[in-house]
A and B are shown apart, each in its own frame.
Chain A
Amino acid sequence: MELLLLLAVPITGAALLGILGAHRRAPELNAAFSLATLLAAGALAARVIRHGDLLLGAEQFYIDPFNVFLVALTAFVGLTTALFSRPYMRVELEHGRVTPGRLRLYHAMYQLFMFTMLLALTTNNMGLMWVAMEGATLSTVLLVTLYRTPESLEAGWKYFILCGVGIAQALFGTILLYVAAGKVLGAQGMTALLWTHLDAVKSQLEPTVLALAFVFLLIGYGTKVGLVPLHSWLPDAHAEGPTPISAVLSGLLLNVALYAVVRSKVLVEGALHSRLPSMMLMGFGLLSVVLASLLLWRQRDIKRLFAYSSIEHMGIATFAFGMGGPMANFAALLHMTVHSLTKSSIFFTAGHAAQKAGTQLMEQIRGLITLSPTVGWGLMLGSLAILGVPPFGVFASEFLILTTAMHAQPWATPILLGALAVAFAGIFSKVQPMVFGETSGRRLPHPPALLPVFAHLAIVLMLGLYIPPYLAEWYRAAAHLIGGP
């Protein structure tokens, strides 16, 4: 019931907003649908907490601690982003950057995007997951090009082609998985793609085929995670679309993609009896962290800067999943959560800052703290949080990851240390002048929605100081599911 609601609400919303999306009250409607989704997600989470794992819809849907927390997170950030986009998109409309028609597209696609992500998270069918992931790309590609600027078109094209090609590899990987499973499970048809069944027999699956399948899946979903060197579309797409979309792309879609990678890893590692997938994840993770933190130094566009920071943080999480084990998995899950909350809140403030300055170029954004103290403090605290400064939650996860790495993979720690230092210098040297100093900017016709920003930061702060026991249990259960050495 909850699951049905969870999936039905956004798709109904998409349909309805497809018609009414240009209405004066459409932003509120959008937020209302997101709220309903969140309520459904909350109910589902409550049910999972009470009754444990759920298998629903003829085994097509499977809810366990791993995905239900992502579902809740997705619905929550979906709501806050919808709240943020309310004044933001109105300002864009008044500045003439979007037309009512495009606003309709935006609202409809926003809900559709939510639907695809929730579907990808909740489905038990690896094939269906692939379909949903591709759907997520398709629903957002036109949002990236919403402004129709040359840059946004270019970004959209790259997004579409690179993710499309990537995801095609994932399909091939899924097929290989199916082939391998068909041999064991015997049955033609449905069960051979169901994750629960695959998980049950994973140790009997043919290792070589699974290794190949994993490579295809990793390339496919890894492209969407933005793992270096498959990341090339990410900074473009995240920077050129409307800010709410940047927020959900960075905050949510990357998580969902990483979720898919991790699900695949669990299966494959179970079959392989070797650390190959782990090594690959660690390699990708490190490469992403290093490359992204170096590229942070060259950024001039505020959203592009934080897009690279997303690559870096996905790299850290991927590295942690690669290390495996209860502690690292726990930390990686925590990292996904706090990154998603922090990064979306940063995009909110960055969006407002860019609107105020009339540009996304950082050198022209100055003195936010004087112009609008809340936006300034939001950006400052958000950036510090994402840089892993305690007492914010990102620090908690990085603490666990680095200390675990120091024992489990000591060779990687100097690299991480260097990269984190470089990233800190890269981001903070650019954020500080934007927040401090003499100001330049204008007042906006609509007051910015900063509740989402501070709500996110408050949660991140809380997670740094205190993780509620049920949440910790949740993470632990999920970390146990993912397994590792």
Chain B
Amino acid sequence: MLLVGCVALLLGWTAIGLAGLLRPRSVVLSGRVLFPLGALLGFALAVLAGASLLGGGIERLVLPLGLPGLPAHLRLDPLSSAFLVLLGAASGGISLFAGGYFRAGEGAAPGLLCLQYHLFLASMGLVLLADDAYSFLVAWEAMALSSYFLVTTQHRLAEIRRAGFLYLLMAHVGAICLLLAFGVLQGGSGLFTFAAMRAAHLSPGWAAAAFLLALLGFGAKAGLVPLHVWLPEAHPAAPSPVSALMSGVMLKTAVYGVLRVGLDLLGHPVWWWGLAPLALGLLTIVYGALFAAVQTDMKRLLAYSSVENIGIAFTGVGLTMVFAGSGMPVVAALALLATLYHCLNHSFMKSLLFLGTGAVLHATGERNLGRLGGLMHRMPWVAWLTLVGTLAIAGLPPLNGFVSEWLLLQSFLFTDGLPHALVNLLIPMGAALVALGAALAGYVMVKFYGIIFLGQPREASLVHAHDCGWLERIGLLWLALGCVLLGLFPLQVIGALGAVTAELVGAVVPQASPHWWLLAPVPGRPVSYGPVVFLTATLAVVLMTVLIVRLTYRQRVRRAPAWDCGFGALTARMQDTAEGFGQPIRHIFQPFFEIERELPAPADRAPRYRIAIAERIWKLLYEPLVRAVERLANTVARVQQGRISVYLLYSFATLLVLLAVAMAS
């Protein structure tokens, strides 16, 4: 029943999208009616999926679509329910925001955007429900395609076209990898349902090949280093609600995919498979955080931060597989919980941040951090709500980002119990990288928030910035609320996710504490975390301080120009820029970056300082690859050299060779 409901909601999304085409130029129809309606469906989906998650049951449905002999199989199990909750809940807030965000006269018609947007939502839903390779891939690519069109909304800009191209290319290559992975998984049975794949017995070599192909395919979508290059291009290019959706929800479908293939379809994982996602995840964490720290474009910064967070999720996946493969199901369940929780958290906080940048972008028309500043005074709603997201993503207690990092670090503590000497030596190092990533995330977020919202406006035009509308506020409020609630009530969330861990690794993390407010998930170890108490205590101490100070303190507060060590006239140009804020990172991690500097000469009349940072990965991997293909194409082009005699010679030679082969055999 729930599955039918979910499918109906997905169809509803499609219908809403099509309704947008009725009056494609009407902002009122799309913005005030259809997008909020889509948000409602999103919430409904979250509720339905949540019910299924709590019920823990599995529902199946077969639709007469797809290939002959392979009708579309759908399945609602705890894993897909968990991700559907994520999709519904996050997209609800984003859709509300989008309702106020899309306006007339900006790029494509609102109705068309409405169609693409809702198709994007529906296809993500279908990805999560699909239970055979074909419908999965169709949904997977439909997701890529609809988001591609959303990314290229402003197709008149060359950089956006480039971003779109790169995005779709990577998505397609990834999809082919997935296709091949499914080709292996079917094990020659010719049956492409997931049920058949679960039943198929693969030799270890083939199973590993399937997993690696899947990792490659899903990693390309998730933005796992070094397949992440499309991500910092595409996310900034898209309209902000779409960036939010891509970063907050779409990337998670890749995590879903890896979990589905690695832990469900392949059955029992071999422990060393987990090392690949683990290593790549750790690399991705550090890499993403470092590049986020040196960005000057606020959406690019967030995009790299998404790369980092995906790294955390994949680290969790890797740990889960290592533990599950080593016969430690309960610990594996803990790591899996950390992964799932992080996905959920990230979908809320990153959506919140992207939407915040969207509001800023709308109010100021600027994406460059160097031209923003002081927006806290002009856009208090956006500023305060974004602050919640900023603190959450920096992993500060008692918000949600901390919970998942806490869980992940806890599962790292168990690695010394692994029965493999070398691994058991190396994996704890991973914890160090996770910690480094978390600390860097704090750095990035201070930079992000401080430069946009605090300080003085760096441009005169910023004075005219205005706060966002009420629909946008509701959307932001919902997401911020999500960050807080997910942070405060982890126990309830983890309880609901128990069905997923039971499904995938066959164990549930026991709850060692009898209290509803105390999270004590680590079996046999006196470890606990009580965010509600934590928050209460913090608030109590802070309030008490305020109270005492207020009571004892008699003087009034006086407002005066900033002192600044008495330097006199203070201008906005004296503040640190985004480049300046990234300088320590650039300095410390120089080898990571490809830096191009333009320094002013001492006698310069109009001195200009410019710095551009690129990824070495382009020079090291992608550019040589493209050059190699080009060289190959040039070489091959010699074949087609215009002379008919030569063409005849080809035919002649082919004929002789084939005749010789035919005679020989």
A–B contact at 8 Å CB threshold (below): yes
Chain A residues packing against B (C-beta within 8 Å): 157-158, 161-162, 165-166, 169, 208, 211-212, 214-216, 218-219, 223, 229-230, 232-233, 235, 274, 276, 280, 291, 294-295, 297-298, 327, 369, 384, 387-391, 395-396, 398-400, 402-408, 413, 417, 420-422, 424-425, 428-429, 432-433, 436-438, 464-467, 469, 472, 475-476
* Chain A residues within 8 Å of B182, by CB: 403
Contact check, A369 vs B155: say whether CB atoms are below 8 A apart.
Answer: yes
Secondary structure class of chain B's binding surface, majority of residues: helix
- Choose from B156, B639, B651 the contact partner of A162 (Cβ within 8 Å): B651
Say yes or no: is B360 at the interface (Cβ < 8 Å to chain A). no
Closest 8 CB pairs of A and B: A406-B183, A472-B68, A436-B155, A403-B183, A232-B647, A211-B662, A390-B138, A407-B188
- Choose from B67, B152, B180, B644 the contact partner of A158 (Cβ within 8 Å): B644
Contact check, A291 vs B665: say whether CB atoms are below 8 A apart.
Answer: no
Contact check, A406 vs B152: say whether CB atoms are below 8 A apart.
Answer: no
> For chain B residues 138-155, which have a beta carbon within 8 Å of chain A?
138, 140-142, 144-145, 152, 155
CA distance A466 to B360 in the complex (A): 45
Contact check, A294 vs B633: say whether CB atoms are below 8 A apart.
Answer: yes
A405 smallest CB distance to B (angstroms): 7
Known A162-B644, A165-B651, A469-B68; judge A297-B633 contact (CB<8 A): yes
22 pairs across A/B with beta carbons < 8 Å?
Answer: A162-B644, A166-B651, A214-B662, A215-B659, A216-B655, A218-B658, A229-B639, A389-B141, A390-B141, A390-B142, A391-B138, A395-B137, A395-B141, A403-B183, A404-B190, A406-B184, A417-B180, A428-B168, A437-B158, A438-B156, A465-B66, A467-B67
* Chain B residues within 8 Å of A420, by CB: 176
Nearest A residue to B642 via CB reads A154
- Choose from B68, B141, B164, B172 the contact partner of A432 (Cβ within 8 Å): B164
Say yes or no: is B557 at the interface (Cβ < 8 Å to chain A). no
Known A276-B665, A402-B179; judge A437-B639 contact (CB<8 A): no
Say yes or no: is B634 at the interface (Cβ < 8 Å to chain A). yes
Contact check, B145 vs A389: say whether CB atoms are below 8 A apart.
Answer: yes
CA distance A406 to B184 in the complex (A): 6
Contact check, A421 vs B179: say whether CB atoms are below 8 A apart.
Answer: no
Tally chain B residues at the interface, Cβ within 8 Å.
Answer: 60
A-B contact count (CB 8 A): 170
CA distance A276 to B659 in the complex (A): 12
Q: A212-B663, A403-B186, A436-B155 are in contact. List 5 more A-B contacts (CB 8 A).
A: A212-B662, A276-B662, A402-B176, A422-B629, A437-B155
Contact with A along B310-332 (1 / 0, CB 8 A): 00000000000000000000000
Nearest A residue to B68 via CB reads A472
Contact check, A391 vs B141: say whether CB atoms are below 8 A apart.
Answer: yes
Nearest B residue to A436 via CB reads B155
> For chain B residues 609-665, which have a beta carbon within 8 Å of chain A?
629-630, 632-634, 636-637, 639-640, 644, 647-648, 650-651, 654-655, 658-659, 661-663, 665
CA distance A166 to B640 in the complex (A): 18
Contact check, B639 vs A169: say whether CB atoms are below 8 A apart.
Answer: no
Contact check, A232 vs B640: say whether CB atoms are below 8 A apart.
Answer: yes
- Choose from B133, B156, B654, B661 the contact partner of A403 (Cβ within 8 Å): B133
Contact check, A327 vs B190: say whether CB atoms are below 8 A apart.
Answer: yes
Contact check, B137 vs A390: say whether CB atoms are below 8 A apart.
Answer: yes
Contact check, A437 vs B156: say whether CB atoms are below 8 A apart.
Answer: yes
Nearest B residue to A230 via CB reads B651
* Chain B residues within 8 Å of A407, by CB: 183-184, 186-188
Contact check, B169 vs A436: say whether CB atoms are below 8 A apart.
Answer: no
CA distance A423 to B172 in the complex (A): 11
- Choose from A158, A291, A421 the contact partner of B639 (Cβ within 8 Å): A291
* Chain A residues within 8 Å of B192, by CB: 403
Contact check, A402 vs B180: say whether CB atoms are below 8 A apart.
Answer: yes
Contact check, A208 vs B176: say whether CB atoms are below 8 A apart.
Answer: no
Known A232-B647, A399-B134, A437-B155; judge A465-B65 contact (CB<8 A): yes
